[in-house]
């Protein structure tokens, strides 16, 4: 295909988009959504309207009766809220449906008698002409998405001074979502030559894939939770849970159908999560540490410290955090260790019980007590149970902590060792924090923040959707993997387009 | 009937096409049943036939619009399914629809470039062509605002924008006023003078007779006859004789010569044998009548067409 033909096809697509009345209407809507970001400035303590009027957040929130939490930046909260409402809600749902409806007639109009004769008699293959119509749709949504996301980004950057490069990924994911749905629309339109059928069936498919996706998440969640109960019971040394129920034939059939549909249909529901992950990747919001084998994830470095070495280590040596600043006390550090719970048989051939956190903690406490008796410790050790992870509303996972102090009374170092086990692994977190580094209150908060961000991968205390979001990732197992989701969704789109080409090439006009 | 062509640009051999045949329906409707055709450069071809004869199917096969046929077909030495075979082809379909979102000028520009021509070259051709189809003043209006006749004229212009070597015109004067028809006829003759082959599919036989030099008559998916207009419209044996005056006893004067005397405004018509014409002339001269013209009568294309179709469809009434 020579460059003249390419240029003609591009100009044809552009004219088709620009002439579309719905497109013009959507452009006006986009401008209406972007305008507030230029007219309203969000600042750390106030909102400015049209650069003249200023309102303190307290005036606004108290008027509405909504207090803003003290630990949250109100400007960031409002901007992110606006971004979520506009992109995930308006553009990602209503906007996409509008665009599907507005572009569904591209292919049927091309296939109308008279129009098809004129166009398909040109020296351009049918496949190329069909892809041009598909690309017209992408151009339609591409222009609107870039205008919306780019406009909002620019508005927030210029007026509020808020830049969030990751937000720009939203435009790509909107196009990605539309590209999948539009491919299906092109297939239906090619087969039926009806734009009404294309719109209705795409909406049906969009809803169906959303329902299937959610149902599949619930199924996975319930299955994982069942497995998790065993682990929980084991962790708490109760061993009361028995999972001996056997699925009926009907349940197996439904599960298989659900799996089949889930893996076949595009995962449109993942688009929002993918955007979030891309934003996190750009903003460096991903976890700082991930033990993929043992399913432990640490979201943030402990405050004032940095990880030394790989963020996905093999635990051949302790994972170590050291102070960020070179001037800090070198005794300040945090280790994470992992060992297998299964123990080899003793020399006499007796089976050794699997390690559990409480037993390991007890024997560690015994050692410390011996040292304390010898006067080596500044404060006697004590053992307590604590919960961590799972969010503020949830109870979280259990760990055992042994605390003591070392050094002289003037220059004591707080020491703590946390024990928890999960699946086949036993973990220990060893903390050394000189008293001179921070107050007791500061230390409690520091420690609590660190453990708040420490999650076991399969956290049963989350709701199904939250749980799925946690499971879903670039390095997750294949069925929760973002690349797999993108690959299967794009494959679906490609199959739709190939089927449309196959059908089109068999038409007699 | 016609002489074989030395370098045909379009060739069809034993072409068959059956519509409506599927896995569940073994017997479909045969649209073409073994069509053979060769077309050379610079000819104006009239494709005639009753509805359902297979004319449009034949054109659509040659343009790659209809598939699933058997036999041989090639245009500029390429198979019709090859898009490149259509690079030098112009096509004005019957009841065509041009993209309503474009203006007339944009249609010309984009369709010209779609045929592979350079943008600047196409732009230079647009205005003269629009002038010729009398569309220059409406060139910047959207197609959706055009009347049927305007769309038809623009359709013809778009078919010629890339200077094709063969043009297929399916009912080109449909919906066009008499002045527009005359200008379309002129354009076709101009194309012929420039060596462009024109294929005209029309039910207006008088128009075909006026502009075509070669005619193919099809019926029931077969080519019944093809040849030049002269070959298809043989002499009837009758002659028309125009006289300076037409006396009342003219029929009596010629009573023993010829058959079927018919008086006309400026003379008469008579069916004659070859040797009778001289006698008629002598008799008229003896009466002192001045002969202004002697014209042998031929069948009209319409008469020839109806005669052929009646032969092919014995039950058909004239």
Q: How many CB pairs under 8 A join A and B?
A: 103
Nearest CB to A123; choose among B19, B84, B106: B84
Q: How far is B51 from chain A (nearest CA, A)?
A: 17
Residue B28 touches chain A, beta carbons under 8 Å: no
- Write out residues 226-285 of B within 8 Å (CB-CB) of A: none
Whether residues B101 and A19 touch (CB distance < 8 A) is answered with: yes
Paired tokens of B70: 């058997």
Asked if A153 contacts A171 with a C-beta cutoff of 8 angstroms, the reply is no
Asked if A437 contacts A330 with a C-beta cutoff of 8 angstroms, the reply is no
- Tell me chain B's radius of gyration from C-alpha atoms: 24
What is the model's pLDDT at position B293?
84
Q: How far is B151 from chain A (nearest CA, A)?
A: 12
> What's the average model confidence in pLDDT over A94-116?
90
Q: How far apart are CA A497 and CA A339, in angstroms?
A: 51
Residue B295 in this model has a pLDDT that exceeds 60: yes
Tell me which residue of B36, B40, B50, B316 sits closest to B203, measured CA to CA: B50
The confidence band for A231, taking pLDDT boundaries of 50, 70 and 90, is: low
Chain A CB contacts of B142 below 8 Å: 19
What is the model's pLDDT at position B252?
79
Helix (H) or strand (E) holding B164: none
Q: How far is A293 from chain B (nearest CA, A)?
A: 55
- Exposed/middle/buried for residue A361 (C-beta within 10 Å: 0-12, 13-18, 19+): buried
Whether residues B91 and A505 touch (CB distance < 8 A) is answered with: no
pLDDT of B177-224, one tens digit each? 888 888 888 888 889 888 899 999 887 888 888 888 888 888 889 988
The DSSP letter of residue A286 is: S
pLDDT of A293-309, one tens digit each? 766 778 778 888 888 87
Asked if B93 contacts A118 with a C-beta cutoff of 8 angstroms, the reply is yes
Q: How far apart are CA A455 and CA A295, in angstroms?
A: 8
Asked if A332 contacts A431 with a C-beta cutoff of 8 angstroms, the reply is no
Q: How far apart are CA A165 and CA A322, in angstroms?
A: 30
Give the DSSP per-residue string, A72-96.
S-HHHHHHHHHHIIIIIIIIIIIIH
Full-model pTM: 0.72
Q: How far is B263 from chain A (nearest CA, A)?
A: 50
Whether residues B65 and A20 touch (CB distance < 8 A) is answered with: no
Paired tokens of A240: 């009361």
| Most confident option among A271-285, B15-29, B159-173, B274-288 | B159-173
The overall average pLDDT reported for chain A is 83
Asked if B140 contacts B105 with a C-beta cutoff of 8 angstroms, the reply is yes
Give the DSSP per-residue string, A299-361.
-SPPTTEEEES-SS---SS-EEEEESSTTS-TT-EEEEEEEES--PPPTTSPPPPPP-HHHHH
Q: Which of B28, B101, B109, B141 to mutate to test the interface with A (most CBs of A within 10 A)?
A: B101
Where are the domains positioned within chain A? 1-287+464-509, 296-456
Nearest CB to A5; choose among B95, B114, B142: B114
pLDDT of B24-46, one tens digit each? 777 788 889 989 998 888 888 89
What is the model's pLDDT at position A416?
94
List of residues 6+ apart from B131 with CB closer than 8 A: none
Nearest CA in chain A to B88: A123
Nearest CB to A8; choose among B19, B67, B113: B113
* Alpha carbons within 13 A on the beta-carbon side of B50: 13
Q: Strand B89-92 and strand B70-75: pairing?
A: unpaired
Q: What percent of chain A clears pLDDT 90, i.e. is strictly above it?
A: 31
Nearest CA in chain A to B17: A508
| Most confident option among A41-50, A242-251, B133-142 | B133-142
User: Which of the four CATH numbers 4.10.640, 3.40.1000, 1.10.760, 3.30.1380 does domain A296-456 have?
Assistant: 3.40.1000
Q: What percent of chain A clears pLDDT 70, i.e. is strictly above it?
A: 86
pLDDT of B115-174, one tens digit each? 888 999 999 999 999 998 888 999 999 999 999 888 988 999 999 999 999 999 988 887
Which residue ranges form the domains of chain B, and what is each CATH number? Answer: 43-64+79-232 (3.40.50.300), 236-298 (3.30.70.980)
Least confident of A462-471, B8-17, B59-68: A462-471
Chain B CB contacts of A123 below 8 Å: 83-87, 89, 114-116
Nearest CB to B83; choose among A8, A16, A124: A124
Residue A126 in this model has a pLDDT that exceeds 90: yes
Chain B CB contacts of A5 below 8 Å: 113-114, 116
Query: Higher-confidence residue: A460 or A138?
Result: A138
The residue count of chain A comes to 509
Which residues of A lie inside 8 Å of B (Cβ-Cβ)?
A: 2, 4-5, 7-9, 11-12, 15-16, 18-20, 112-118, 120-125, 505-509
């Amino acid at each position: 295909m020579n460059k003249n033909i390419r240029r003609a096809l591009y100009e044809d697509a552009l004219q088709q988009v620009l002439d579309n009345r719905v497109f013009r209407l959507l452009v006006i809507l986009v401008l209406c959504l972007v305008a507030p970001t230029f007219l309203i400035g969000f600042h750390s303590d106030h909102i400015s309207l049209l650069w003249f009027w200023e309102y303190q957040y307290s005036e606004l929130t108290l008027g509405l009766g909504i207090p803003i939490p003290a630990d949250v930046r109100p400007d960031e909260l409002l901007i992110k809220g606006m971004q979520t409402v506009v992109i995930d809600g308006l553009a990602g749902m209503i906007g996409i449906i509008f665009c599907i409806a507005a572009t569904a007639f591209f292919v049927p109009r091309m296939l109308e008698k008279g129009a098809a004769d004129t166009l398909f008699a040109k020296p351009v293959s049918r496949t190329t002409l069909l892809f041009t119509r598909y690309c017209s749709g992408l151009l339609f949504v591409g222009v609107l998405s870039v205008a919306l996301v780019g406009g909002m980004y620019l508005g927030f950057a210029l007026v509020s001074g808020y830049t969030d490069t990751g937000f720009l990924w939203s435009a790509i994911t909107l196009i990605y979502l539309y590209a999948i749905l539009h491919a299906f629309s092109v297939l239906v339109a090619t087969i039926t030559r009806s734009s009404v059928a294309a719109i209705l069936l795409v909406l049906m498919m969009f809803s169906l894939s959303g329902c299937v996706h959610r149902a599949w998440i619930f199924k996975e969640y319930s299955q994982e939770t069942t497995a998790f109960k065993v682990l929980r019971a084991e962790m708490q040394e109760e061993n009361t849970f028995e999972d001996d129920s056997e699925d009926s034939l009907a349940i197996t059939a439904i599960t298989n159908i659900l799996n089949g549909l889930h893996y076949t249909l595009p995962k449109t529901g993942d688009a929002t999560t993918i955007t979030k992950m891309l934003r996190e990747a750009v903003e460096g919001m991903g976890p700082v540490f991930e033990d993929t084998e043992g399913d432990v994830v640490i979201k943030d470095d402990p405050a004032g410290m940095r990880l030394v070495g790989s963020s996905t280590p093999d635990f051949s040596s302790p994972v170590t955090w050291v102070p960020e600043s070179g001037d800090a006390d070198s005794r300040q550090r945090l280790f994470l260790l992992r060992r297998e719970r299964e123990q080899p048989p003793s020399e006499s051939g007796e089976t050794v019980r699997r390690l559990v956190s409480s037993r390991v903690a007890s024997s560690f406490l015994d050692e410390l007590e011996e040292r304390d008796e010898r006067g080596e410790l500044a404060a006697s050790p004590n053992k307590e149970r604590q919960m961590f992870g799972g969010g503020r509303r949830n109870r979280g996972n259990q760990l055992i902590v042994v605390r003591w102090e070392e050094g002289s009374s003037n220059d004591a170092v707080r020491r703590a060792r946390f024990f928890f086990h999960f699946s086949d692994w036993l973990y220990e977190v060893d903390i050394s924090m000189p008293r001179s580094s921070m107050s007791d209150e500061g230390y409690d908060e520091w420690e609590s923040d660190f453990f708040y961000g420490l999650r076991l991968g399969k956290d049963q205390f989350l709701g199904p959707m939250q749980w799925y979001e946690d499971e879903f990732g670039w390095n997750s197992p294949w069925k929760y993997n973002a690349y797999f989701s993108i690959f299967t969704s794009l494959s679906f789109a490609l199959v739709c387009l190939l089927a449309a080409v196959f059908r089109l090439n068999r038409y007699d006009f | 009937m016609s002489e074989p062509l030395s370098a045909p640009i379009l060739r069809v051999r034993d072409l068959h096409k059956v519509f409506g045949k599927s896995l569940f329906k073994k017997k479909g409707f045969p649209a073409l049943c073994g069509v053979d055709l060769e077309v050379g450069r610079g000819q104006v071809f009239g494709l005639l036939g009753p509805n359902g004869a297979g004319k449009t199917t034949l054109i659509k096969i040659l343009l790659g619009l209809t598939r699933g046929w058997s036999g041989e077909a090639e245009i500029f030495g390429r198979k019709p399914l090859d898009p490149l075979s259509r690079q030098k082809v112009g096509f004005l379909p019957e009841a065509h629809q041009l993209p309503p979102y474009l203006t007339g000028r944009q249609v010309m520009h984009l369709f010209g470039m779609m045929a592979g021509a350079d943008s600047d070259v196409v732009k230079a051709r647009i205005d003269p062509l629009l002038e010729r189809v009398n569309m220059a003043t409406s060139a910047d209006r959207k197609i959706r605002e055009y009347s049927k006749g305007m769309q038809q004229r623009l359709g013809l212009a778009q078919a010629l924008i890339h200077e094709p070597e063969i043009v297929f015109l399916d009912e080109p004067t449909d919906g066009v006023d008499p002045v527009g028809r005359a200008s379309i006829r002129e354009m076709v003759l101009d194309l012929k003078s420039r060596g462009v082959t024109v294929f005209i599919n029309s039910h207006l036989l008088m128009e075909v007779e006026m502009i075509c030099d070669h005619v193919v008559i099809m019926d029931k998916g077969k080519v019944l006859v093809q040849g030049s207009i002269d070959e298809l419209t043989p002499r009837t044996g009758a002659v028309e004789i125009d006289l300076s005056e037409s006396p009342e006893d003219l029929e009596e004067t010629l009573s023993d010569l010829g058959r079927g005397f018919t008086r006309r405004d400026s003379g008469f018509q008579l069916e004659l044998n070859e040797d009778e014409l001289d006698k008629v002339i002598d008799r008229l001269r003896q009466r002192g009548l001045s002969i202004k013209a002697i014209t042998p009568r031929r069948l009209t294309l319409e008469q020839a067409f109806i005669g052929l179709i009646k032969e092919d469809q014995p039950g058909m009434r004239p």
